[in-house]
Amino acid sequence: MTKRPNSSILLLVITSFALLSSCNKNVIYTDSIAMPGKKWELMNIPAFSVPVTDTISTNNILFTIRTSSSYPFRNIFLFVKTTSPEGKAITDTLEYFMADEKGHRNGKGFGDIHELRLPYKLKVYFPRKGTYVFNIQHGMRVEDLEGVYDFGLRIEKSSR
């Protein structure tokens, strides 16, 4: 005789799956690059190629960074070069705070890992279809930035 699954367990599994899949429906693009040895070397410049087909909707562009508690600074400087499909590039210099004045880390954390979402551009649209390339270099005054697990790019549709 075969045992049939309990209907409440089946309902829980289906509900969980529906919730998980609906959480990411607004995500256009997400990717991250791991840093070998938890060290972001100055010449390790993550590049993200983002295919764009929607030129009408507004989007939020965010960075994600996961660091360990050995990350030695309260802030991080980034040089962001964005290249459009026709080859035009703009470069931004940004500063984000990773911790408050007392050293408490911003973002979410579990154990030694702290994840922080850094807003880059909010409610923007892509003017042309094609592939946009984002190159991000850390701008700290050290060659090797210790305590960085990975760095990522996330683009999601913004709510109007």
Copy the structure tokens of residue 10. Answer: 């089946």
What CA–CA distance (Å, rounded) separates 147 from 112?
A: 10
66 forms beta bridges with: 115, 150
Question: For residue 74, how many C-alpha atoms fall within 13 Å in the half-sphere facing its CB?
Answer: 6
Write down the pLDDT at residue 13: 46
Binning pLDDT at 50, 70 and 90, where does residue 15 land?
very low
H or E segment to which residue 9 belongs: helix 7-23
Question: For residue 137, how many C-alpha atoms fall within 13 Å in the half-sphere facing its CB?
Answer: 14
pLDDT tens sequence across 40-54: 999 999 999 999 999
Query: Going by C-beta distance under 8 Å and a sequence separation of 6 or more, which residues neighbour residue 31?
Result: 48, 152, 153
Instruction: Name the 3-class secondary structure at 114.
Output: strand
Copy the structure tokens of residue 125. Answer: 């649209």
What CA–CA distance (Å, rounded) separates 59 from 154?
A: 10
Copy the structure tokens of residue 94. Answer: 């940004």
Binning pLDDT at 50, 70 and 90, where does residue 23 land?
low
**Inter-residue contact 117 to 63 (CB < 8 Å):** yes
Instruction: Name the 3-class secondary structure at 120.
Output: strand
What CA–CA distance (Å, rounded) separates 10 from 110?
A: 30
What is the pTM (predicted TM-score) of this model? Answer: 0.82
pLDDT tens sequence across 122-142: 999 999 999 999 999 999 999
What CA–CA distance (Å, rounded) separates 99 from 125?
A: 30
